Amino acid sequence: MTSKVAVIAGAGSGLSASLARLFAKEGFHVVLAARNVEKLEALQAQTGAQAVATDVSDRASVARLFDIADKAGPLSLVVFNASGRARGPIAELDPETVRQALLVGAYGGFLVGQQATHRLLAQGAGSIFFTGATASVKGFAGSAGFAMPKFGLRGLAQSMARELAPKNIHVAHFIIDGAIGSAVSGQDSEPQDRRLSPDAIAQAYLSIHRQHRSAWTWEMELRPWVETF
């Protein structure tokens, strides 16, 4: 029987890797999308995932990603994990860097979400998830170039959720409110669970994908026990 497909756009180490490992373990055929697929070779070996070189800010590149994913089986779950950012004082930000951050972090989410929507509407079911951050709801000083794409992505997710939920498509936005742990951060003198575990975040994504449609959520906030609200 053909496995259902999970697409992770903006794949890399950390959360994307944890998602790929969990989804593969649960029987999904995982498709990883990244600009540089060479960095994904070890993850591919672990999970049997397929890697597709993709620029999420380019319409043709995103369409090609989903055309390739179509050949692997029916689409079930899409996670948009790409992020664009430009940090610094507003008077000193490079406009081109900010434009690129918006193209990747917000417009890229639209392109991926649109391609996923075409397929899931045809099937009548599935999930589209967007990864946000504290900056999705708080615009900090010196962070305009990160808050703008994250606010935009949240607005996209909310609009899509309201439009697509009645059509049996589950759209959800995840606010990752804190630093995500890694092998390096785990060597700090502080307890490792002062940072969000990427494996724990991945479990939360899977649980939302499996929610009964009588009790769907469109947004989930995740933060470690020491993080302030």
Separation between Cα atoms, residue 208 and residue 145, nearest integer Å:
29
Separation between Cα atoms, residue 61 and residue 65, nearest integer Å:
6
Separation between Cα atoms, residue 151 and residue 55, nearest integer Å:
21
Predicted local confidence at residue 130, as pLDDT: 98
Predicted local confidence at residue 185, as pLDDT: 43
Asked whether residue 56 carries a pLDDT value surpassing 60, the answer given is yes
Separation between Cα atoms, residue 204 and residue 207, nearest integer Å:
5
- CA 21 from chain centre, in angstroms, equals 15
Q: What is the pLDDT of residues 75-130, one digit of tens each?
A: 999 999 999 888 999 999 999 999 999 999 999 999 999 999 999 999 999 999 99
Asked whether residue 1 carries a pLDDT value surpassing 60, the answer given is no
Strand partners, 80: 9, 130
Separation between Cα atoms, residue 6 and residue 23, nearest integer Å:
7
Asked whether residue 189 carries a pLDDT value surpassing 70, the answer given is no
Q: How would residue 186 be classed by pLDDT, with cut points 50, 70 and 90? A: very low
Q: What is the pLDDT of residues 133-146, one digit of tens each?
A: 999 999 999 999 99
Give the SS3 label for residue 140.
coil
